[in-house]
Structure 1
Amino acid sequence: MGLPDSSQDLSTEMEVDAFRRLFPLRFFERHLSESLRPDGRPLGKARDTIVNLGLVSSADGSALAKIGSTTMLAAIRMEVMSPSTDSPDEGCIAVEFHMPPICSPTVRPGRPADEAPVISKRLSDIFSSCDMIDLKELCLVSGKAAWMGYLDIYCLDADGALFDAALLSAVAAFSNLQIPAVALNDNGRIVAINGEQEENASIKEKEAVNKEKRKLTLKNIPFALTCILHKKYILADPTAEEESIMDTLVTVVLDSSDQIVSFNKSGGNALAGSSAIKSCVELARKRGKELKQILGEMDID
């Protein structure tokens, strides 16, 4: 029996790679006709997902979320602020999404990525519309002091479905958040409680705001799934390559009760009918169950 011709295998592999580079859409459509994608996934299947908590020791809460190669690191820093006169009993959350050049060759040094402010705004809108956080929980002293939470999300690898991974990392970071212990000192100022008796001697026990670190209650947890609509096909959780050659993207955001929080569509008009929308929502609900299981394993409510 003769040995396999390795040079022929290499030549075939090079020809496939050349065809993929020269005719990417035709390459993908050949796979789609067999209800598969080049990475071996069925059309409606999301990539493997990993979530790790508490990786940033200097943050009050942090998490890393990885969907396929798409990787996000979220970190939350809490600071005391004066609440607004319109909402004297509420704190505030500020969201900033960052895309450093290391995350993608399409991001140039010195120029902010166009997607960054858009994703920041969408995340802020989602947190508000689904009531994930009760801002009254962030109040320290009515009309005088409240918590300001700075959520920074850093994209470490931008390989498609950026919003989905960013939202997942943010939810996980909030679940990991430990609100610092603070109290009023003799001068009426908010100070941190560090556990040392001598240093805390000036704190008025009767005016302690919270004596120890505490978790933040997440009222309603949102999940997202982005799909590509191309001809008669619907592809869940696209890679960056798939997004670059297929125009129509749909992102469905559901809450803990599987209710639609947001539906965003960008690009062409393919499959814009109600049946396609229904299919995307069903895929999102299936994806939501997967993410709930992942987060549930880490005791995230």
Structure 2
Amino acid sequence: MSNGVLTAPGLAFPRETFAKLTPGPFLHTHLKQTKPLRPNGRTPEEFRQPIVNTGSLSHSNGSTVVRVGDTAVVCGVRAEVLLASDIPNPPRDGMQDEELIEELGLLVPNLELSTGCSPANLPGNPPGTVAQSLSYRLLTLLHDSHIINPADLRIQYTEPPTEDDETGYAPRIVTKAYWTLYLDILCIAHDGNLFDAAWAAVMAALRNTVLPKAWWDPDREMIICSPLVSEATTLQLHSLPIASTFACFSTSSHLKQRKEAESWILADPDSFEEEICNDALTIVLARHQNAQTRILRLSKTDGSQVNAEAVQGCVALAEQKRAVWESILTGG
């Protein structure tokens, strides 16, 4: 009551309430400012700062924990021996090295979403298709990138000469087994853009992978692995491809006049932005030693909001992110 007149109480809701009730207009209000600023405090082209810790799992051949904002992923690499005699369909003659890893299935990524990593992953819920889809995307990118030399996964044996061999006999080298790398990826916190974080975790874990010295024992007819750490070798990667995902937010969904619609490209979207944006673009860049950066993969959803000019801008931003991540992963 003021001066004897009754007044209605003021209505004030916290920003989280407005974000849940009207997420599109809420995000639009932030982006239409003179200096666009997303609700998470980042500019549209700004990526979240990464934190990478390698060698976190003591019983894995390689491991890492990657945290990007509030998205956190753990990746462990298990190396197991696959005997050539156990392969149902041995590699055909003339097979290219690039085809060998895919043909034999020597790289096996498996991503899981831990219970409670996001509001959608509650105890008792059946496994969803998101983890399977991400595992397949990781697998195909591992095959397309050719970052691992198949020779590093071979366990070979040089057959000794026999009495029937003539002078000048050339030793025959045979492959007795292969290393199969199982990449177990666990998302412990999911706040958007899980693919980029999972792929970065895979790269960091593979760089951290150490394979024990292994050889074929003809007397026992089995593979022997040395327990000495000094004899182990680090897995060498040809390059470090880095994935960058962008989301496109458009006001056409909540504005009556479509011609007045605006759109923004948001780098490294969080979970709130992913739920609002229907169009997304993922760019994977790789740079070999003493070579220029090349686009290894460019994929987008069915939306038509990302035009050619926007793609060029995203590629430039992706190159900046690639340089930052390469420096972090290599310790440079």
TM-based fold match above 0.5 = yes
Note if 1:227 corresponds to 2:227: no
Alpha-carbon separation, structure 1, partners of 2:125 and 2:249: 34
Partner AA of 1:221 in structure 2: L
Q: Is the 8 A contact 1:193 1:211 kept in 2?
A: no
Deviation at 1:282, TM superposition (A): 1.3
Alpha-carbon separation, structure 2, partners of 1:87 and 1:139: 16
* 2:208 paired residue number: 176
Which of 248, 256, 259 is 2:279 aligned to?
Answer: 248
Q: Is the 8 A contact 1:183 1:211 kept in 2?
A: no
Which of 282, 295, 298 is 2:329 aligned to?
Answer: 295
* 1:73 paired residue number: 74
Partner AA of 1:179 in structure 2: L
Partner AA of 1:242 in structure 2: E
* 1:146 paired residue number: 178
Note if 1:86 corresponds to 2:91: yes
Is there any run of 5+ residues in structure 2 with no aligned partner, and where?
A: 1-10, 157-173, 251-262
Partner AA of 2:190 in structure 1: A
Q: Is the 8 A contact 2:154 2:179 kept in 1?
A: yes
* 2:296 paired residue number: 261
Deviation at 1:246, TM superposition (A): 1.3
| Deviation string, structure 1 residues 58-100 (Cα, Å, up to 9, x no partner) | 1000001111111110000001002451169856111111112
Secondary structure of the structure 1 residue equivalent to 2:231: coil
Cα distance, 1:22–1:221 mapped onto 2, change above 3 Å:
same
Deviation at 1:181, TM superposition (A): 2.3
Query: What does residue range 1-301 of structure 1 map to in structure 2 within 5 Å?
Result: 14-34=13-33, 35-83=36-84, 84=87, 85-86=90-91, 92-108=106-122, 109-141=124-156, 142-185=174-217, 186-195=219-228, 212-231=231-250, 232-256=263-287, 257-271=292-306, 273-297=307-331
Deviation at 1:144, TM superposition (A): 2.2
Deviation at 1:110, TM superposition (A): 4.7
Alpha-carbon separation, structure 1, partners of 2:243 and 2:25: 29
| Deviation string, structure 1 residues 88-131 (Cα, Å, up to 9, x no partner) | 98561111111122211212435222111111111111122121
Deviation at 1:265, TM superposition (A): 1.1
| Deviation string, structure 1 residues 196-218 (Cα, Å, up to 9, x no partner) | xxxxxxxxxxxxxx981101110
| Deviation string, structure 1 residues 120-154 (Cα, Å, up to 9, x no partner) | 11111112212111122100023421111101111
Q: Is the 8 A contact 2:176 2:216 kept in 1?
A: no
Alpha-carbon separation, structure 2, partners of 1:23 and 1:251: 27
Alpha-carbon separation, structure 1, partners of 2:319 and 2:247: 16
Deviation at 1:222, TM superposition (A): 0.8
The share of aligned pairs that are identical, in percent, is 31
Q: Is the 8 A contact 1:94 1:151 kept in 2?
A: yes
Partner AA of 1:174 in structure 2: L
* 1:4 paired residue number: none
Query: TM-score scaled to structure 2, two decimals?
Result: 0.77
Cα distance, 1:122–1:255 mapped onto 2, change above 3 Å:
same
Alpha-carbon separation, structure 1, partners of 2:131 and 2:204: 20
Cα RMSD of the aligned pairs, angstroms, is 2.0
Alpha-carbon separation, structure 1, partners of 2:16 and 2:208: 43
Secondary structure of the structure 2 residue equivalent to 1:242: helix
Q: Is the 8 A contact 2:240 2:326 kept in 1?
A: no
98-107 or 146-155, larger mean C-alpha shift = 98-107
Partner AA of 1:293 in structure 2: S
Deviation at 1:296, TM superposition (A): 2.7
Secondary structure of the structure 1 residue equivalent to 2:38: coil
Is there any run of 5+ residues in structure 1 with no aligned partner, and where?
A: 1-10, 196-209
The count of residues paired between Structure 1 and Structure 2 equals: 272
Q: Is the 8 A contact 2:212 2:227 kept in 1?
A: no
